[in-house]
């Protein structure tokens, strides 16, 4: 369940840091009752960015398949072997 805290609580930086590290989810910050910011630990951020890059790669691959930009795996490996002297 997401944690939501008001912006005035950000002055308790050590407590907020502990919350970020205990939770593997972002913490939502509100200002005047409305969403304003999201904070998270570095580990959570890096994990999210890694997943996003994988999803982008999968999406790009699917687009290439749909447009016919494909190669035979054996041919590609042979070309790499020739190119890199393997």
User: Is the CB of residue 25 less than 8 Å from the CB of residue 48?
Assistant: no
Which phi and psi (to 5°) does residue 32 adopt?
Answer: 55, 35
pTM over 0.75: no
Give the pLDDT of residue 48.
94
Report in angstroms the alpha-carbon separations of 58 from 1, 40, 47, 76.
28, 26, 17, 19
pLDDT digits (tens, 9 = 90+) for 31-84: 999 999 999 999 999 999 999 999 999 999 999 999 998 888 888 888 888 878
Give the pLDDT of residue 40.
95
Q: Rounded to the nearest 10 degrees, how much is the dihedral formed by the CA atoms of 44, 45, 46, 47? A: 50
């Amino acid at each position: 369940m997401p944690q939501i805290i008001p912006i005035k609580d950000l002055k308790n930086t050590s407590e907020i840091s502990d919350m970020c590290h205990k939770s593997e989810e972002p913490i939502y910050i509100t200002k005047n009752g409305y969403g304003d910011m999201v904070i998270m630990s570095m580990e959570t951020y890096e994990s999210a960015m890694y997943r996003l890059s994988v999803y982008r790669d999968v999406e790009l691959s699917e687009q290439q398949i749909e447009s016919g930009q494909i190669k035979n795996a054996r041919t590609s490996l042979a070309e790499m072997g020739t190119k890199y002297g393997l």
